[in-house]
Amino acid sequence: MKDVEYIKQLEQVIIKFLEPLKGIPFPLAIKALTGFNVLTFESSDKQNKKLIDQLSKAAIQCGEKAYIEGIYTSRPNEAGNRIELYVIDAISCRGNS
């Protein structure tokens, strides 16, 4: 009888682990998952605005190039690996301009 109760408790714990986490602030989730902090930006800071503008331009360039050349993969989760090359290229180009 104890084994049945123990298994039911384990099932409940596993169900809780699998439930989507709600109400957790994004920076806290990223810190917990990766060990890295999320940087905050003040839009009034000129240096932050410059970086945001550069990243925005790189994102647009990346998206346009990926759209034109296409990303073909048999598995949807591999698309992230493929687009990474476009992101690196776009950021590298932004650093040189």
Q: Report the domain count for the chain.
A: 2
Q: Which pLDDT score is estimated for 19?
A: 76
36-65 per-position pLDDT tens digit? 998 887 767 787 888 888 889 999 999 999
Do 23 and 54 lie in a common domain?
A: no
pTM of the model: 0.54
Do 46 and 33 lie in a common domain?
A: no
Q: Which pLDDT score is estimated for 1?
A: 56
Q: Which structural domain range is residue 60 located in? A: 42-97
Spatial CB neighbours of 36, under 8 Å, sequence gap ≥ 6: 30
Do 36 and 52 lie in a common domain?
A: no
Q: Which pLDDT score is estimated for 23?
A: 76
Alpha-carbon gap, residue 42 to 44, rounded angstroms: 5
Q: Which pLDDT score is estimated for 37?
A: 92
Q: Which pLDDT score is estimated for 94?
A: 53
Do 79 and 32 lie in a common domain?
A: no
